[in-house]
Amino acid sequence: MQKWLSIIGIGEDGLAGLSPLALSCLEKAKIIFGGERHLSMIPHDDNREKISWKSPFSTSITDIINYRGEAVCILASGDPLCYGVGATIIKDIPISEITIIPAPSAFSLACSRLGWSLTEVETLSLCGRPVSLLQSYIYPGAKLLILSEGKNTPAHVAEILINRGYGNSQITVLEKMGNINENIITDIASNWQEKNIAPLNTIGVECIADKEIVGLSRFPGLPDSAFHHDGQLTKREVRAVTLSSLAPLPGELLWDVGAGCGSISIEWMRSDRRCRAIAIEQNSTRLNYIADNAAALGTPNLQIIAGKALEVILNLPAPNAIFIGGGVTAPEILETCWDGLLSGGRIVVNVVTLEGEQRLYQWYEKVGGNFTRIAIQRAEPIGKFLGWKSMSPVTQWVGIKN
């Protein structure tokens, strides 16, 4: 099928800022979709059919598909594939049927105002997303560009920075970039009181940590103190080895079976923004710990499911990796997890009891895999001196489903 759908990025300068190619696509269109702000940029005497976005957005996608073969144009902000409508639409309509003409993204415009290199900044969107996503982007010296949800977003960002010990960070709010009324507001987070902010804004942050603050790495092995827990926690050193064995890749899905406080699934998701995880836990107190830890450590999209693993996992999407940190002696748990795992996927199981080892060895005789014994000692006070205290040795089995 020929290209019938065009997605045109448009800036605050409106039609005057469009390229000849973009104007040509717009002029040929019989039906125009877009937000009310963008549709208002079209002259009032233009009698073509103009359709505003609906809620839920999936309804609008259905409407667009129903016009397949007609000349349809979508007006979108900036670069349609940068946290924009284009990234959603290409999931349902093949690119072979679409012409996409981007304008400069808000990130590109912000970099041009701030003198930042786009390749050296962290970018994220808080439009329709939990503000706690910001947590995993904060580290000393980071430069952040944030698509704001509205006029209150800068204040929420300032609050998170202050609570994390980054109150000296500089916040720059860029309003209506490209418009004749463009404006820039700058202050440090701890002083932020500005309330008269335009709904359309982008936020730049230069993260400056207080002297006593130590940044939280995205590499596996966060300090145990980074998590709220009741003792049901895979300790830091063992956690780092476990994540290495799980070997997350971008976009992969993890089942964290018997998730405890969620440390494994949270660090899995922190390893890459696109990684997904489902934490399964039946203890109500620990479910609260998982939710608190996910929000505090910047993984609010962690899916948390309450219940017994064997009753839950049969209805879950197939994972690329599974971690079992407890309950391995439960009947059929290994079999059920193995059956649910995608081909080429990994299962990692940690046990500390002889019964657990016996169960794993029986399973090893069926499917193979490999064993590792992890023995950690930490230095702790013995009177006036330091001595070594051993943690319970952990037996780890890793299996790959070929």
What pLDDT, on a 0 to 100 scale, did the predictor assign at position 262?
97
Measured N-to-C along each axis, helices 236-246 and 263-270 cross at an angle, to the nearest 10 degrees, of 60
pLDDT range class, residue 207, cuts 50, 70, 90: very high
Q: In whole angstroms, what separates CA 354 from the centre of its chain?
A: 38
Query: What pLDDT shows up at residue 326?
Result: 85
CATH class of segment(s) 224-400: alpha beta
3-state secondary structure of 135: helix
DSSP state of 137: G
Rounded Cα distance between 398 and 402, Å, is: 13
What is the pLDDT, as a whole number, of residue 34? 97
**Beta sheet of 170-175, edge-to-edge order:** 122-125, 143-147, 201-206, 170-175, 183-188
13-53 per-position pLDDT tens digit: 999 999 999 999 999 999 999 999 999 999 999 999 999 99
Residue 342 pLDDT: 98
- List the CATH code of the domain at 107-206: 3.30.950.10
Q: Name residues whose C-beta falls within 8 Å of residue 160's C-beta, 6 or more positions apart in sequence.
A: 131, 132, 134, 135, 138
Indicate the pLDDT class of residue 232, thresholds 50, 70 and 90: confident
Please say whether the beta carbons of 111 and 18 come within 8 A: no
Rounded (to 5) percent helix, strand, coil in the chain: 35, 25, 40
What mean pLDDT is reported for the chain?
96
Which residue, 199, 175, 202, is CA-closest to 36? Answer: 199
Q: What is the pLDDT of residue 27?
A: 96
Q: Which fold has domain 5-103?
A: Cobalt-precorrin-4 Transmethylase; domain 1 (3.40.1010)
Whole-angstrom distance, CA of residue 187 vs CA of residue 168:
9
Question: Would you state the structure tokens that stand for residue 249, as one six-digit string?
Answer: 């890749």
Alpha carbons within 13 A on the beta-carbon side of 174: 21
Longest CA–CA span in the chain (Å) reads: 87
Supply the pLDDT for residue 75: 97
Residue with tokens 């990130």: 107
- The pLDDT tens digits of the residues spanning 293-351 come to 999 999 999 999 999 999 999 999 999 999 999 889 999 999 999 999 999 999 999 99
* Residue-range domain boundaries for the chain: 5-103, 107-206, 224-400
Instruction: Write the CB contacts of 352 (distance below 8 Å, at least 6 apart in sequence).
Output: 392, 393, 394, 395
User: Which 3 state secondary structure label does DSSP give 384?
Assistant: coil
Is pLDDT at 100 greater than 80 in this prediction?
yes
